[in-house]
Amino acid sequence: MARRGLPLQGRVRWLLLGSFLLLVFLLFAYLLECTPPADAGLAPGSLGSEPYGKEYYQALLQEQEERHLSRAASLKRQIAQLKQELQDMSEKLKALQEKKELEARGHAEPRNPEPGDLLEYLHSQIDKAEVSTGARLPSEYALVPFESFTATKVYQLEMGLTRHPEEKPVRKDRRDELSEVIEAGLDIINNPSEDDGQEEDGLTAHKQMYTENDFVEGLYRTERDKGTLYELFYAKEDSGDFQHVTLFRPFGPLMKVRSTLVETSNTIINIIVPLSGRTDTFSQFLLNFREICVQHDRQVHLTVVYFGQEGLNEVRSALERMSREDNFSNYTLIPVDEEFSRGRGLDIGAHAWKKGDVLMFFCDVDIYFTLEFLNTCRLNSAPNKRVFYPVVFSLYNPAIVYGNLELSPPIEHQLIHKKDAGFWRDFGFGMTCQYRSDFLSIGGFDLEVKGWGVEDVHLYRKYLRSELIVIRTPVSGLFHLWHEKQCADELTPEQYRMCIQSKAMNEASHSHLGMLVFRDEIEAHLRKQAYKTHTKTED
C-alpha cells in the first residue's frame, strides 16, 4: 500500500518545485521590468543634437509610460493565467489523491485512467488543431481560414456591412491579445531553449536581440472546439532570415509549440503564368514583374505558357527586351498550339522545370503583387508539409470607384484596402504557392475537368484531403486588377444570369451600386434643392 502512494508523492514534490520556480520567474520578471533601460538617462540633446522643447520630453515620457503600462498589464495577465493553471493542477492532483486513497481502501472500483495533468490535455488540443499535420477535410467549406496582421493592422475576410477589409483592432481586448502574442514570440526568440526547432534543423540561432520593430507579419485563427493558433514571423531589416514562432492558446495560457529559423534568401520562386492574347495586360504585368522581381528580389524565374499564335511575337519581344535592358535571363516562354486551358498551362509550366524541386507561384496575368508578398509566399510554404492559398484583394471598376475624377489614378495608387475600392476574393483558389514535389505527388490538376476555375477547386480539395497543412488567409500584397467580364450569348439563361451576378459583384461596392441605381432619384433631389436655394436668394 505504501508503494502505491510513491508516484503521487513524487507528483506533489514536482508541483511544489514548479511553484517555487514560477515564483522565482515572477520575481525576476518584476525586477527586470522595474530596471530602467541602459540608455534611459541619455537625453536626445546630450549627443550633440539640437535642443528639444518641453513638449518633446513630455511626449517622450508619455510614450515610455504607455509602453511600461502595456508591459505591466501583459505581465499581470500572464501571472493571473499561470496562477489559475497552478490552481487547476493542484485541484486535479488533490482529486487524484483522494481517488487513490479510496481505491486503496477498497471503497471504490477501478475506473479508466484520466489524463495525468492539465498539460497532457493542452497538448491533446494542439494535436487536434492542425499545428504539425493537416486534417483531412471533406470540402473547401470546412477549412477555417486565417486572418493576417501586422503590428498595426488586421486583414480580415468577414467584413459584413460595418467591418472593413483592413482596419486597426478597435476592441481593446483584441489589441491586447495581439500585443501579448507578439511579446511572447519575442521572449521565445531572445531566450531560446534547448528543444527549439533551430537546433533540430541544424541551424545556428542568431545571438542578436529582437524587438517589436522586427515583427514582420503574423497569422491567427480560432477554432471554437480547440483554441487559437498563431504563426509569427520576425526579421531584421534587409535580412533574408526569418524567425518563425508558432504559439497556441487552447482556451488558456499561451503555449509555445516551436521556434525555427527560416532562410528565404536562396529560395527561388518559379512564377508560372498561362496566357492567350491579352498582350496589353501582359505588358502591365511585366512592368510590375520587372520592378519587384528583377530590380529588387532576383530570386525568381518567370515561366509563360502561351496558347496560340496571335500575340506570341509581341510577348516574345517583350521578354527579350526585358532580358536585354535588365540583364535578366531567368525566364522561359513555352508556346502551345492548343485551345486555352488554365489548368493545362500551369501543368505544362510545372513539368517544364528540370532543376529539382522548386517553389511555384501559380499566377494570372491580371495579378499585381508586392515585394513583401514574395517573402510571404516563401514563409508559408514548405515541401511535404504546407501549401499556401492566399486570398486576393480584388479591385472594383476604377471608372465607378473614381467616377468623380476626370481620370482614374495610376494603378499603383489604386492598391488600397478600402471597402469601396475592392473586396477579398475568398471564392477564388487560383493563386497559390506550393512546391513542385507536392504538386506532383498530389496528382496535379485534373485535366479532364473543363471550364475556367473548376480545376483550381479540384486541386484545392485534393490538398484538403491530404496530410499537408493548407494555409488560407488574406494577404495585403496581392491584388486582382479589374478587367471587363464578358458574358457570352451562347450561355443558357441560368448561366447568363449567374454571369451577370458575378459581373455586378466585381464592378463596385454595395454603396456605389446603390448610388447608380438611385441616380435619377438623387439628381431629382439635387434639382429641388437648387431650386429652393435659388428661390430664397431672389426673395
Beta-strand pair 300-307/269-275: parallel
Residue 331 clears pLDDT 70, i.e. is over it: yes
Q: Given this model, what pLDDT does residue 93 score?
A: 64
Residue where the block lists cell 526585358:
322
Residue 5 clears pLDDT 70, i.e. is over it: no
pLDDT grade for 194, boundaries at 50, 70 and 90: low
Cα distance between residue 167 and residue 156, in whole Å: 8
Residue 203 clears pLDDT 50, i.e. is over it: no
Mean pLDDT, residues 374-382 taken together: 96
Strand partners for 244? 233, 260
Query: In whole numbers, what is the pLDDT of the chain averaged over residues?
Result: 80
Amino acid at 384: N
What confidence tens digit (pLDDT) does each residue in 217-249 have?
999 988 877 888 999 999 998 888 999 999 988
Question: How many other CB atoms are found less than 10 A from the CB of residue 395?
Answer: 23
Q: Given this model, what pLDDT does residue 288 score?
A: 96
In Å, how far are 235, 274, 364, 425, 452 from 478, measured between CA atoms?
A: 21, 18, 11, 11, 21
Residue 379 clears pLDDT 60, i.e. is over it: yes
pLDDT grade for 350, boundaries at 50, 70 and 90: very high
What confidence tens digit (pLDDT) does each residue in 436-459 have?
999 999 999 987 765 455 788 889
Task: Of 41-50, 163-172, 367-376, 493-502, give the range with the top mean pLDDT.
Answer: 367-376
Q: H-type helices in 327-357, by residue range?
A: 342-352
Cα distance between residue 74 and residue 67, in whole Å: 11
Residue 503 clears pLDDT 50, i.e. is over it: yes
Q: Given this model, what pLDDT does residue 493 score?
A: 80
Cα distance between residue 241 and residue 69, in whole Å: 32
Beta-strand pair 386-395/422-424: antiparallel
Residue 199 clears pLDDT 90, i.e. is over it: no
Residue 198 clears pLDDT 80, i.e. is over it: no
* DSSP letter, residue 394: E
Q: What length is written for the chain?
A: 539
SS3 of residue 15 by DSSP: helix
Q: Given this model, what pLDDT does residue 31 score?
A: 62
**R_g of the chain, CA atoms, integer Å:** 29
Residues 6+ apart with CB under 8 A from 221: 144, 145, 146, 147, 228, 229, 473
What confidence tens digit (pLDDT) does each residue in 267-321 have?
999 999 999 999 999 999 999 999 999 999 989 999 999 999 999 999 999 999 9
Strand partners for 471? 388
pLDDT grade for 341, boundaries at 50, 70 and 90: confident
Residue 373 clears pLDDT 70, i.e. is over it: yes
CB 297 within 8 A of CB 371: yes
Among 150-164, 168-182, 307-321, where is mean pLDDT lowest?
150-164
Cα distance between residue 85 and residue 77, in whole Å: 12
- At residue 228, φ and ψ (nearest 5 deg) are -115, 130
Q: Given this model, what pLDDT does residue 22 score?
A: 74
Q: Given this model, what pLDDT does residue 100 score?
A: 62
CB 85 within 8 A of CB 213: no
